[in-house]
Structure 1
């Protein structure tokens, strides 16, 4: 398929694509460029490397003739300095119109140099939201003639808590087209973009190949916050017949200490791997835990030690490790013994979905979603384990909202969880352990 015929790109831009080795459009460009060139707001969801950056750079450069006027027509927002610089390099690779003025804005000592660059004229501004807002408030960034706003790596912008500067910038633009590019689309991101997206088209591209290796069965539970993760863990641990042995992975010592105390309060036998306080129960090896009557071993994700997890019926990732390879190594089946099958359960919030997607892409496998127990109590938002205990908040399911439904029911000792038939059968087989 020819770039020129399909997408009505300028000839110089098509020449740049051919010289850069882009002989044919990728799936994401086939699905989005016509909509973008037609002026529609678009939300694009796709994994790293699928062509998101190239897509919006093509749409950006295609807007300009050879006589730009030096007033910002396109604003591209990115989460950090590194991404801003990466976008600038990509634009330079494809841009043959050397009269275009492209100005990067990001946090750096002093703001005067960037103010001077803007004063000299800018056609395309590539910026982090906080620095763009700061220069706008100093009257250095004119938003009145912005025709195209691009928000790249939008999930990372939300993760960094930069929703407010994005909202303020958007509200200061009289009228423009909006493009949002993200690896995952979740409720927090939706809350940021819904007020300004006008009847957007949502285009999703998944690039998950064939499975690369055999892994243990996995289940993913999507949860809104830390407190609800704690409630789900406590609910699961009430079933002593099923969850006979569990290795529980967390990322920090404060979280490990919090869960240690919670599980002790629930009268669940729990220990830490290599405890850092002498008053805490612990083991120095997995084998000691396997030989003991203790049900739960909490392990802080450090990625330094290779753990022999064979013989442990359940692995629960309360938090995903920073490096996806650490998680994947634990999932690979090292022993074909069916009787010794391990089930891996992962708790993930909206902000951890990017890590989940990267794992799925690396393994070539989608992690099945688990239904949340009807007895689960959903807590109000809280930012970390150290904020102290808050009362559980009952939440009604919103039929119109994406994601799992949370039912307003009182917690109990019920062991009836809404697992799928196949998953439930696998889990029930573990009662022999």
Structure 2
């Protein structure tokens, strides 16, 4: 497959799909599409490894829709599993785009909302199901999904599904679907666990890998800033967001608490409309926020890693990693939200002293040294509070011990006092004073007793 076809017509897709592809603005196949489409259309099991933003969704949807062709019967003939509700909805949007001129019926299934409307859609008849693993099994166990007609199954973002602990649900699903079927597995990385899953799921697969694992897209310019503390991060973030070139921005944080705090702060700074999404937000709220962001009505989206994968928003100009991700592969997925569809993008990462260790590991995974920029003039750099500084030092000590078990840092236990917890402040010896007073009272009683005698 060295010669990349210059047109989707080379794949001999039906007219309905070609018309929809043309209307969607797809001029030529991406490398993953050019290699995967002929193999999938020929009926092979397929293992696709490609970084996010390279067109993986179309690489499996087009052959799947071609195979389904038209509405038939009441029960599903195709199944796509994805790890998150957001990705399920994103894939559903792509299905609706490509199947526009067909009568194919698709249903998206995901948790966080009641199943009533999803069950009603299934009962009306369906050709293709796009679902999270948990909701699929839930409705199957209720007797609402019949799998005997399934001929094609796709797993998208397989590495994320394993990270989220879906292996038991995946194995349960494989037990209840027909053995004779075409399988496609797509993943941004090929870890040991993904390899094990591919061996269980795929039969003599063709492997397509358009880039080395964990490689970031060439359209993304990556930079980092070394920041001494949390307040400097906040000031730097505000400074950057006041620049006109940051048109549509996703700010990633490590926790829901940080996401809320950052969102609340930015919302008070007159920087444009701000929305926040994380696992504690209701499903309808998250969908509404994403729709507003896609439409351009929201300039800044603050998110945890729930939004790091699979969301195809082509106009994101910048991704800012307010916190360095502790799952290193998530860095690739975070910054993959920009630089999509061959457009340029920029990824900016703030690195505090305790995060430098983790970012070094990330640079090892992506096989490149990210350019470090000096803090811009005008960014306030307040002194690091004592407590925050201690937290960094403890974390750095733990990192050094992880690399070298013999390392003794500033917070190791002192000899001769093994019971002291170095992380716990020393308690006042209030109990000793009480004990001493009690002893004195006892001695006075004894003296008085002998005096009376």
TM-score by length of 2: 0.50
Alignment of 1:164-313 (within 5 A): 164-174=168-178, 175-206=180-211, 208-209=217-218, 212=221
Residue aligning to 2:19: 15
Which of these residues, 136, 147, 158, is aligned with residue 162 of structure 2?
158
State the 1:360 CA deviation: 6.4
Q: Over aligned residue pairs, what C-alpha RMSD do you find?
A: 4.0
Alpha-carbon displacement from aligned partner over 1:191-230 (angstroms, at most 9, x marks no partner): 23311210112211226428957889xxxxxxxxxxxxxx
CA distance in 2 between counterparts of 1:194 and 1:348 reads 32
Alignment of 1:34-433 (within 5 A): 34-174=38-178, 175-206=180-211, 208-209=217-218, 212=221, 328-330=349-351, 346=358
Aligned residues: 261
Distance 1:119 1:98, change over 3 A: same
Is the CA contact (8 Å cut-off) linking 2:11 and 2:38 kept in structure 1?
yes
Is the CA contact (8 Å cut-off) linking 1:153 and 1:181 kept in structure 2?
yes
CA distance in 2 between counterparts of 1:30 and 1:156 reads 24
State the 1:188 CA deviation: 1.7
Is the CA contact (8 Å cut-off) linking 2:51 and 2:217 kept in structure 1?
no
Gaps of 5+ in 1: 217-250, 253-301, 306-315, 332-343, 365-410, 414-433
Is the CA contact (8 Å cut-off) linking 1:129 and 1:166 kept in structure 2?
yes
Distance 1:156 1:362, change over 3 A: farther
State the 1:21 CA deviation: 0.9
State the 1:14 CA deviation: 1.0
Alpha-carbon displacement from aligned partner over 1:54-103 (angstroms, at most 9, x marks no partner): 11111121113335223211000011111111111111111134421111
Q: Secondary structure at the match of 1:150?
A: strand
CA distance in 2 between counterparts of 1:119 and 1:49 reads 34
State the 1:187 CA deviation: 1.1
Gaps of 5+ in 2: 226-253, 256-319, 336-345, 372-404, 408-453
CA distance in 1 between counterparts of 2:196 and 2:90 reads 27
Is the CA contact (8 Å cut-off) linking 2:45 and 2:206 kept in structure 1?
yes
Residue aligning to 1:417: none
Distance 1:176 1:112, change over 3 A: same
Is the CA contact (8 Å cut-off) linking 1:319 and 1:346 kept in structure 2?
no
Is the CA contact (8 Å cut-off) linking 1:66 and 1:97 kept in structure 2?
no
CA distance in 2 between counterparts of 1:362 and 1:52 reads 27
The answer to whether the aligner puts 1:27 opposite 2:41 as a matched pair is no
Indicate the structure with greater helix content.
2
